[in-house]
Amino acid sequence: WNDKPIEYLDGSGNWAEDADPLFGSISEAIQSREFELSVAELQRISQWKLQSSRNDSNITQNTDEAVTRQFRSAITASTDGNAVDLLTELSGVGVPMASTMLTVAEPSQYAIIDYRAFRALAGVKPEIVDSRQYAEYAEFLEFFRTYLKNPEAYEFYMDHVREIAAAETLSPRQVDMALWAFDKERE
């Protein structure tokens, strides 16, 4: 993680790097300014998520005010699906990016969704892919197929991540990192 720091605006308004995979510094900074988030900072979060230095022109179509408004509404949303739904109204933000925004702000409450972590759920919780339990198996497959654009898939994912987190006394962010590593190791 040391070679993949996420950039954020610190309390002085300067760019800083957070190499902590649990997002200690960035989440503290975002929370201290009551979840204000600029387009420039959203771009840096996107670049970290994509591990790319390219600028997403869709993200720059948003205003700072719109990003902050949607972000604050998402943080106080009644469900994970509603939170993601609010964030995906922003230009250039899909479900994985929305999950990243939520997680950098509150890693003790949220987890980042991606294909590796989602796929790893099947290895950690084999009962969700047991074909004898067809309804649950079909639900997993449908949500895995549509997770890039389906806020309900994020709810499904978070239900399972939080269940694992509670059982193992971990944060959702720690679980998503473990799922990602588990899937990577199985390649």
How confident is the model over 108-150, as pLDDT tens digits?
999 999 999 999 999 999 999 998 889 999 999 999 999 999 9
DSSP state of 93: -
Q: Considering the entire predicted model, what is its pTM?
A: 0.95
What was the pLDDT predicted at 4? Answer: 84
29-56 tens-digit pLDDT: 999 999 999 999 999 999 999 887 666 7
Mean pLDDT of 78-89: 97
DSSP state of 33: T
Count of H-run helices and E-run strands, the chain: 9, 2
d(CA 93, CA 111): 16
Dig out the tokens for 171 from the structure.
């944060």
Which residues fall within 8 angstroms of residue 105, CB to CB, at 6 or more apart? Answer: 27, 30, 31, 35, 71, 75
Give the end-to-end CA distance of the chain in Å, rounded to a whole number: 20
Which of the four pLDDT bands, split at 50, 70 and 90, describes residue 57?
confident
What was the pLDDT predicted at 160? Answer: 97
Reported as type and span, the H/E element at residue 15 is: strand 15-18
